[in-house]
Structure 1
Amino acid sequence: MTVFDGINECYVPEGPIAIDPSVVLHREADTEIDPVTYEVIRSSLWNINVEAGEIIQRVSGSPIAQYAHDLNTVLLTEDAEYLYTGPYNLNLAVVVDLTVKWILEFRSADPGIADGDIFLSNDPFVGASHVTDTIMAMPIFVDGRLFCWAASTFHQYDMGGTAPGGYSPDARNRFEEADPIPPVKIVSGEGEVRRDLLDWYLRKSRTPHLLELDFRSQIAGCNYSKARVLSLVEAYGAGTVKAAMRKVLDDGERAFARRLEAIPDGRWSTRGYVESALPGDRQVYTTQLNVTKTGRRIVFDQEGTSPQAGVLSISYAAWRSGIMPPLVRLLCDDTMYALGGALRCAEFRPLAGSMMCASHPAATGNPGIGICQAGSLASASLSRMLSTVDDESQDVFAVAGTSIYPISALSGVDQSGNYFGTIHMEPMAGGLGAFRNADGEDTGGTVYDALALAPNVEFSEQYFPILFLYRRELPGSGGAGRFRGGNSGIFAYTPHRADVIDHYTATSGMAIPTSLGLWGGHPGATNRDLLKRSTDVRARLQEGRIPQSLDELGGEVEWIAPKVRDILQYPDDVWEVRWAAGGGFGDPLEREPEAVLRDVTRDLLPADDARRFYGVVLVGEAVDEQATASLRDEMRAARLGPGEKRPAKAQGEHVLNLGPTLEVLRGEHGDEVACRSCGTSLGALAGWKTRAASVALSVEEVNSQIDDPARYVDAPVYFRSYCCPGCARALDGEVTVGDDAPYDDVELAE
C-alpha cells in the first residue's frame, strides 16, 4: 500500500487530520450574519491578501515579485481550508493548504503550534511546488485557540544547488538540487526569528543578502495579515468573523456545485508530450490528464502519464497547482479566489512514481515544465467538458501561450565585480488561447496570473549586464483557427560590459507544441533559444544601426537544446528567445476573410500565412473573394482525398453538443456522433476519430513559427486533423508522436 506521507511519497492528506490535543481549534461561529456585515468582512479578508502581497513586493524589492508576480498570499481556516488567495501567481497559492495540513498533522505535537510561530518549508514532497518556492505559514490564535492561518509562497532568488536560480537541467535526483526543507518553526512563539535556523537557511544561497530580504518580506506579510485579522475580530467578534468565513466556503461550494450540475456526466482526457529529460536525451514522454465529472463532483487523475524521468518530474503539490488556475478561470473566476468551497467538490488522484507525482528521491526542481504542462492539459480537458454547455457566456478557450515556461537562465559577474543571475521574465507576456467567440489576446499574459507583467527593457538592462536589440510581438505565432490564438513574442540581446555570460536552459516545448488548439484549431508556436556567435553586432551599433533579426547579422547560429548548461555568450554573440503562443479555436477555413486581412494589415499575421493556413487570397490590401472561395474549396477537397464520398447522414434526436463541431444524436440503434454542420454520421462516440477524414501533417506545416522537431527529438511529431467526411469541416485535432494511435478524449456516462 502506498503511503502518501511526504517522505518517500508525496504528501496527500486523506480524511480528517489527526491533530495533537495541545492545539485547540476555534470552531464556534454565529448561526446568522447580516448581509452588510458579511460583505464588509468578506471584502476585508480579500483585501488582506492583496495588501500582504504588496508588502512582500515592497520589502523584498525583488524583480521576481514585481514583474513575474511569482508569489502569492493566502488565508486559510483553522484546519487549512482556503478562504481567499491573493491575485498573484495562482500556482503558488494552491499548494499552501498541503503544507499547513502537514504541519497540523506532524508538527502539532513536536515542536508544537503556538501563537507567534511561523513555519517555513520548501519541500516539494510535502507541499511546495519546487525547492525555490518558500512557504511561510503563521497560525493566528484568538483566546488561546487556533482561529485561522496566514501564509505566503514566494519564489526565492537563489536557494543553492548546482544551477544558479535552482532550475538544474541535469539533476538526476533531488540530491543534485537545492535542499528541500520540511516544515520548521523558524519564528518561535515569542515572535523571535531563530537565528541559528536562519543562518542555516541563508548559507545555501549564492545571494544570501537577497534571500534574507525575501525572508523578511514574507515575515512582514504574515505579521500584517495577522494584525488585520485580529482587528476584524476585535471590531466584529470572533463568532461573527468565523461565521463570515464559513459562509464564504459554503457559498463557494454551492456555486461550484451548481455549475457542475449543468454539465453532463462523463470523462474528458487530454494527452500531451514533453521532450528531453536530461541533456542529450532525444526521447519524448507522455503526459495525460483525465477529468471525470459525476453529479456535483469532479475528479482529476494522471492515468496514461509516463514514469518519472530526469528533470521532467514534479510533485503531487505541483501537479495540483498546475490544474487549479484553469479550473478557477473556467468554473469559479467570479468568486474572488475563494477556492475552499470549490475544493470540497474536487478530488485529485495521483499516480505514485509518475512524472506528475514523483517518488523520492526524484528531482522536482523544474516546475516550469510539469506545472505548466498540467495546466495546459487541464485547460484543454475542462474546456472540452464545458463545450457541452449551450451557453455562449461560458468561457472555453484553447491552451494559452507560455504553455511551458522557457527557462533560459543567465549568470556571471558584472562590470562592478558583482555576481548576477536571473531567468527571463518576458514570457510572462504569453499569447492567450483563442476563445469560442473571440481571438486570444496577443501577449496578453498567463492563465495563472491575472496581473502578469513583462519587465521593462530598461529595468532588465539596469539590473543585468545586457543590451536588448529587440523585443516584440511575433506575427503568425498564434495558432490558426476560426478564432486565432494570441501571438507570443521574441527578444534578443548581447552582453554589455560583461566579458562573458553563462547560460543554461531547462525547458521543453521546443520540439512539440504544447499550446494545443481546440475544435480544429492549430497549435501555437513552440519555444526556441538561438545563439548567434561571432556577429558584427558591435560594428552595427557603432554605426547607429540596431539589428531587428538574427538574419541581419553575420556569424554562425547555434540551436540550443532544451536541457543544457554552461553555454558561454561573449560580447559579439547574440542570444534570442521565442516563447510559445496561444492555440487556435475552430476550423481556420471558417475564419472571416476580412479578419485575416485585418491581421495582415496590422502586422499580426504574415501575408503568406493568410493563404497557407486560412485559404485567403489577398490582392494588395483587399480580399479576392472569388479566388478565396475557390482556394478554400480546393483545400477542403484535399482534406477528403480523391474519389467520390457518400457518407451516411446521422438519424435520431439531438441529445447534446460535444462542442461547436460535433453533436450526439439518439436513434433506434443507439447514440451516434454527427457533424453539426452537415449532419454526417461518424458512428459511435468511442473511436469516432477513426471514422473521420484524417489528415496528418508534420507540426511545422501548421504554424510558421514551429521548427522541425528533428532538431531536438528522434520521433516524428504530427498534427492530426480530424475532418468531416461529408463537408470536410475540421472537427478536431491533436498533436501526436510516432505511431501513437488516436485516443478517445471523451466518454459520456450511460
Structure 2
Amino acid sequence: MAKTVSNTAKIDPITLAVIQAGLQQCCDEMDLTFSRAAFSPVIAEADDRSDGIYSATDGALIAQGARGLPVFVGTMQFSTRHIIERIASGETLPPEEGDIYIVNDPYLGGTHLMDVRFAMPFYRDGAIYCWLSNTGHWPDTGGAVPGGFSASATAAEQEGLRLPPVKLFKKGQLDPEIWYIIRSNIRVSEQRIGDVQAQASALLVGADRLTELLNRYGDATVSAAIAEIRSLAAAQMRAKIGLIPEGSYSARAFIDSDGVVNEPLTIALTVTRQGDRLTFDFTGSSLPCAGPMNSVRATTFSSVYLALRHIFPDVPLSAGAFEPLVITGHEGTFLDAHYPRPVSGCAAEVSQRIAEAVFAALVQALPSHVTAAPAGTSGNFGLGGHDPEKGRDFVMYQISGGGYGGNSDHDGLSNGCSTIGISKAPPVEIMEQNFPVLYHRYALHEGSGGAGQHRGGFGLDYEIELLRGHARASFVMDHGRTGPLGAMGGADGAMNRVEVTRGGETFTPPHLSKAQDIALAPGDRVRVRTPGGGGYGNPALRDPALVAEDIRLGRYSPEQARALFKGAAGG
C-alpha cells in the first residue's frame, strides 16, 4: 500500500532525495528512449532533444533530464504554460487521457520552428496531476530552404510550417488528418513518422515511470516533495547570488549580422546584484532585425537560465531556481521578437550570444566561477537535395562543436558541444551512410584557442564533398566577424570560417557565417572551421611546459607560440 503524508507535513531528507532522484530518472529514461527510437541522426546520434515534467497549474518546471539540452530548461515550461492557458481560454481543445499536443510556434514559448514540442497531460484519478513534455529537433519543417535554417528569411512563413497547440494523438491514436497536413508541408516526410513515434513513446515511458514513483510513495507525498524541491532550489540560487559582490556589471556581445543587413547586432547587458535578487537588464540592445537572428522572449529568458546553470551547476533543475532572477529591458529589442519576425537563428545562435554576455559580465564579479567565452555557435549547416543512387530526396543537418573558454583552473575543452546543450556532431560514418557526402577532413581547428594563462580549447575543422546528385547548402552560424571573448587579460578565440569550393573556385559568403541556397554539384565542397574558446588570464603567465607541449603536439608552431605567449614561450 502506498504511504501518504499531507501536503504540509515535513518530508525527511532521505525520502526527499529519493523522490528527487526518481523524478530525474523519469526524465532521463524519456531522453534515452527518444534518442534510441528516433530515426533522424540529429536526434538519434546528436541528442538534440529534451524531456521534462511540468506543473499542471502553470507549467512550471518540476524536473528535466540531465542529458537534455539546457536551452530547453526554460522554453518547455513557457510552451507548456501557453498550452494550459489556451485550453483555459477555449483556443485549444481540452485534453483527455491519451492525448498528446504538438506545437512548434516560436511565439508561444518556443525557439525556432525545427524544435517541435510534444506535451501530454498525465492523469491520476481522473484529474491532471502534471504534464510530460519533450522537444526534438526535426531535420525539416518546410520553408524556403532544406533544413529550415534560412539565413535571409524576412518573415516566419519563409522558415517553415508553424503549428499552434493541436492534438496530434487523440486518446492514444495518431490523428491521420493532422499528420497529413504536417507531412504535406515538410520535406522527406515519410521519414518523420519514426521521429514522431519515438517522441510519443518517450512520453509514455515517462508516464509509466512516474506512475511507479507515485504508487510507491503516494501522490500527496510526491506533491509535497515537488514543492519542497522548488523551495530549496530557490534558496540555493539565492545563496549562490550571495557570492556575487553587491553592484552592477556590464558587458556586450555581438552577432555577425542578421543574414539580411550585413551589420553586427549588439546585446547590451547589465547584471545587478541587490540583496538576494539578480537582475539582467538588456536595455540598449539592438532593435528587432530584418533577418532570422531575432530571439523570442522564452529563448531569451532560457538563455539567461542556462548561463546561470553553467556558473552554478549544483543548483537543482526546478522552476524555483529561476525565482530570484529578474530579466528586463528586452522589450522592443531583437531579444523579444513577435510575429512575423523570423527567428531561425534564435535558439542555436542568439541564445549563445546572450549566455556569452552573461559570462562576460559575471566573470568580473566571480572570476573563479566563470570561464572566458566558449565557441558560442552550433554551426548550423543544412544540405538538401536528391540522391540518384538511392532514388530519393534527402535533408542533412550538421551540427558541430567548438572550443570552450579557459578558466581560473585549466585550459578550455576542445571540440566541446555548444553552450546551449549536449548535442554533438553525428559520427562521420553515420552521415556518409545516410547522405551522398564524403568527409575529407574532420580534425581540430589547431591554434584556434585564445591565448591566456589558461588558453581556450580548439574548435573543429571539417570538409564535406557532395558525391552525387544535386543539393542546396545553407548556413546559420556566428562568430565569423569577431572571436569568442577572452577574460581577465586572455585573448579572444579564433573566428568561425566558412569556405565553399564550387566549380574549382573557393569563396567565403558575404555574411561570413550565414548564407542560403548555395547550389552544389558533385565534387563541390564545403569547409567549416569553428571558433576556439577565449583565453583566460595573461598569456605571459602560462606555464612554459604547457606551451612546449602544445608546440610538440602541433597545436601551435614555435613562431605562433612565441607571438601569442611571449615570455612563457621563451620569446
> In which range does the TM-score fall when normalised by the shorter chain?
over 0.9
Structure 2 counterparts to residues 221-232 of structure 1, below 5 A? 221-232=202-213
1:460 to 431, 448, 464: 431
Q: 2:497 — aligned with what?
A: 528
Is 1:49 the equivalent of 2:49? no
The residue type equivalent to 1:284 in the other structure is P
Change (3 A) 1:321 1:68: farther
* Deviations 1:633-661, CA, capped at 9 Å, x for gaps: xxxxxxxxxxxxxxxxxxxxxxxxxxxxx
Structure 2 counterparts to residues 172-321 of structure 1, below 5 A? 172-188=154-170, 190-279=171-260, 281-309=261-289, 310-321=291-302
**How far off is 1:194 after superposition?**
2.7
**How far off is 1:95 after superposition?**
0.3
Mapped partners of 1:564, 1:242: distance in 2: 49
2:311 to 291, 315, 330: 330
The residue type equivalent to 2:517 in the other structure is D
Structure 1 gaps, min length 5 = 1-26, 388-393, 535-554, 618-622, 629-750
The residue type equivalent to 2:420 in the other structure is Y
2:383 to 404, 410, 417: 410
Mapped partners of 1:241, 1:119: distance in 2: 25
**How far off is 1:587 after superposition?**
1.3
CA contact (8 A) 2:187 2:395 kept: no
CA contact (8 A) 2:35 2:45 kept: no
1:510 to 480, 484, 493: 480
CA contact (8 A) 2:385 2:469 kept: no
Q: 1:344 — aligned with what?
A: 323
Mapped partners of 2:390, 2:168: distance in 1: 35
**How far off is 1:46 after superposition?**
0.5
Mapped partners of 1:399, 1:343: distance in 2: 23
Mapped partners of 1:325, 1:607: distance in 2: 38
Greater Cα offset, 568-577 or 120-129:
568-577
Change (3 A) 1:194 1:382: farther
CA contact (8 A) 1:411 1:420 kept: yes
Mapped partners of 1:362, 1:446: distance in 2: 25
What is the percent sequence identity of the aligned residues? 27
1:116 to 98, 101, 106: 98
**How far off is 1:319 after superposition?**
1.4
Q: 1:579 — aligned with what?
A: 530
The residue type equivalent to 1:556 in the other structure is E
Structure 2 gaps, min length 5 = none
Say which structure, 1 or 2, has more relative contact order (CA 8 Å, 6+ apart).
2
Is 1:473 the equivalent of 2:452? no
1:570 to 521, 531, 545: 521
The residue type equivalent to 1:377 in the other structure is A
Q: 2:566 — aligned with what?
A: 615
The residue type equivalent to 1:361 in the other structure is P
* Deviations 1:324-382, CA, capped at 9 Å, x for gaps: 22211212x124x5232211111222533311111221111222221221122222223
Is 1:489 the equivalent of 2:460? yes
The residue type equivalent to 2:110 in the other structure is A
**How far off is 1:566 after superposition?**
2.7
CA contact (8 A) 1:205 1:211 kept: no
2:75 to 95, 99, 103: 95
Mapped partners of 1:341, 1:33: distance in 2: 18
Mapped partners of 1:149, 1:476: distance in 2: 47
**How far off is 1:443 after superposition?**
1.6
Is 1:33 the equivalent of 2:5? no
Aligned length: 558
**How far off is 1:616 after superposition?**
4.4
The residue type equivalent to 2:119 in the other structure is A
Mapped partners of 2:208, 2:135: distance in 1: 19
**How far off is 1:28 after superposition?**
6.4
Is 1:74 the equivalent of 2:52? yes
CA contact (8 A) 1:92 1:321 kept: yes
Mapped partners of 2:494, 2:74: distance in 1: 28
Mapped partners of 1:113, 1:382: distance in 2: 43
Is 1:132 the equivalent of 2:114? yes
Mapped partners of 1:265, 1:211: distance in 2: 51
Mapped partners of 2:143, 2:472: distance in 1: 16
SS in 1 for 2:269: strand
**How far off is 1:601 after superposition?**
0.9
SS in 1 for 2:29: helix
Q: 2:371 — aligned with what?
A: 397
1:355 to 322, 330, 334: 334
Change (3 A) 1:73 1:522: same
CA contact (8 A) 1:400 1:582 kept: yes
Is 1:596 the equivalent of 2:547? yes
Q: 2:86 — aligned with what?
A: 106
Q: 1:745 — aligned with what?
A: none
**How far off is 1:452 after superposition?**
4.1
* Deviations 1:223-280, CA, capped at 9 Å, x for gaps: 111222122111211111112212221221111111112222222222122223235x
CA contact (8 A) 1:30 1:240 kept: no
TM-score normalised to structure 1 length: 0.71
* Deviations 1:116-157, CA, capped at 9 Å, x for gaps: 332221111111111111111112122233321111011112
Mapped partners of 2:248, 2:8: distance in 1: 40
**How far off is 1:45 after superposition?**
0.7
Q: 1:677 — aligned with what?
A: none
Is 1:148 the equivalent of 2:130? yes
The residue type equivalent to 1:509 in the other structure is H
The residue type equivalent to 1:557 in the other structure is T
Greater Cα offset, 578-587 or 605-614:
605-614
The residue type equivalent to 1:444 in the other structure is G
**How far off is 1:431 after superposition?**
1.2
Mapped partners of 1:504, 1:447: distance in 2: 22
SS in 2 for 1:615: helix
SS in 2 for 1:165: coil
TM-score normalised to structure 2 length: 0.93
Q: 1:437 — aligned with what?
A: 409
